[in-house]
Amino acid sequence: MSTASQVATHLPPADPAHPADPAHPAVGAATSLLDSYTPGDHFLATPGRTLLAHGAARQVPHDARPLDERVNATLAEAGAAGQESPVVIGAIPFDHEAPAALSVPAALRIAPPLASDPLIALPAEMTGSAHWRIRPVPEPGVYGASVAAAVERMWRGEFSKVVLARTLELTSAAPLDLPGMLQRLARRDPAGHTFALPTGPGRTLIGASPELLVSRQGKQVIANPLAGSTPRSTDLAEDVRRAAALLESAKDLHEHAVVVDAVHQALAPHCTELTVPARPTLIRTATMWHLSTTVTGTLASPDISALTLACALHPTPAVCGTPTTTARRVIAETEPFDRGYFTGMVGWGDARGDGEWVVTIRCAEAEERTLRLYAGAGIVAASVPEAETAETAAKFRTFLSAVGAEL
């Protein structure tokens, strides 16, 4: 039996709410995969498992068929060719019509989640150049003006929400240290979703997302939409005050409710049972507080894959806006760049339909000596340009800290 099929038949639990038993952690199993990553590999760590893939036995083709059909066909072909328990892994862009970077790896190693490995608490070394040339696209003032223009259009009734993003282009005189960046991202938020995935020759999508779009294990479905955010503070009392204020913010609660309702509406046709909590809770990353709701359900049919559900959900109002068609048009008119894989999806899926798909945020696209960082904010009628610009700056900090750069 091949290495890939050996590990693929012993997947750890896929449920983010029930990771490996913390009382019996597998010391070094997950961090050894993190330490083994080299550029060109597929690395994905979730609250359910850690995956490291090498090579590509098969690429998912780009054609007129729906994405989930192409993935299912590729997995079936891999199985028919003798690959036992094949898995697809990779990245899907914000624009579903654009080519995805998905493949069935030639070799796959799987371990328990990083958060269950005590060695993840060891600090990562800061290696490589800390000297960066930083260019914002657009400039913060231009971004703020775009927010103000969107708010004005909302007051005229054209749409109710749009997510507007901006980027930072970082250029280094030295080659990029992708393994070092990945180490620092993973060790800073080991309970999140950390990834480094090739998206083309010499290109890597790297990041640490807090947001699970959807997971499926058997008939169990979990979605964890996040919407409504505030930057954290290094002062404990102020940090607690900000968290409490976020839970009472009418603007953020409304923004969150719109996203949760959209997730509910997208999942309901596929489920016999669906549980949606009445009020959100809070989750935190190293830099942000987010309003969070965990939606759980039972599938009506075992034929509905995690990727099918992800495609039904994406893009949620948390990364696009509402109405979706109008928000997409406003994004295209306003943002002076192509989002690429930002606010798309990264994840894995198997031939049984199980899988985990994560919203691609807190990320950067790396190529040669250049990083392009992305951050967005949900704009509603009550938005203030200065506050939304500050929110995106806070979101940039996740990645800036991983490369030793400052705005």
The residues that are catalytic are 161, 211
Q: Which residue has the tokens 């503070």?
A: 233
8 Å CB contact between 33 and 182: no
Distance CA 103, CA 61 (A): 9
